[in-house]
Amino acid sequence: MLMSGGIDSPVAMHYLLRQGHELLAVHMDNRPFTDDSPLAKVVDHLALLRERYHQPIPLYVVPHGTTQVTLMRETDRHVGCVLCRRFMWRSAERVAEREGATFLVTGEALGQVASQTLSNMRTATASVHLPIVRPLIGLDKQEIEAVAKSIGTYEISTRPGVCCQAVPDRPATRSNLVQILREEERLDVDQIIDDCVRKAVLL
Amino acid sequence: MYRTLRLCASGGGFEALPETPRTVDLKRVRAALEAARVPVIDARVMLIATLEVEVTISRAGRLLFKTADPAAADRAFAWLRPLLG
Q: What is the DSSP string of A131-147?
A: -EE-TTTT--HHHHHHH
What distance in Å separates the CA atoms of residue A131 and residue A105, rounded to the nearest whole number?
9
**Residue B3 confidence class, pLDDT cut points 50, 70, 90:** low
B64 vs A69, A73, A165: nearest CB: A165
In residues, how long is chain A?
Answer: 203
> Reduced to 3 states, what is the DSSP secondary structure of residue B18?
strand
Measured between CA atoms, the residue of chain B closest to residue A35 is: B66
* Predicted structure pTM score: 0.91
What distance in Å separates the CA atoms of residue B58 and residue A80, rounded to the nearest whole number?
16
* Cβ–Cβ under 8 Å, residues A113 and A31: no
> Reduced to 3 states, what is the DSSP secondary structure of residue B42?
strand
Min CA distance, A180 vs chain B (Å)?
20
Which chain B residues are within 8 Å of A160, Cβ to Cβ? 10-12, 68
Measured between CA atoms, the residue of chain A closest to residue B48 is: A32
Buried b (16+ CB within 10 A) or exposed e, B46-81: bbbbebebbbbbbeebbbbbbbbeeebbbbbbeebe
Residues 6+ apart with CB under 8 A from A110: A116, A117, A118, A137, A138
- Average of per-residue pLDDT across A54-74: 95
Can you name the residues that pair with A28 across neighbouring β-strands? A62
Per-residue pLDDT of A93-143, as tens digits, reads 999 999 999 999 999 998 766 667 888 888 999 999 999 999 999 999 999
Whether A163 sits inside 8 A of B9 (CB atoms) is yes
What distance in Å separates the CA atoms of residue A37 and residue A47, rounded to the nearest whole number?
15
What distance in Å separates the CA atoms of residue A122 and residue A116, rounded to the nearest whole number?
9
Least confident of A81-85, B3-7, B12-16: B3-7
CB pairs under 8 A between A and B: 46
- Average of per-residue pLDDT across B34-60: 94
- Average of per-residue pLDDT across A28-45: 95
Q: What is the ipTM of this complex?
A: 0.81
Question: Has residue A202 got a pLDDT over 90?
Answer: yes
Residues 6+ apart with CB under 8 A from A141: A7, A109, A112
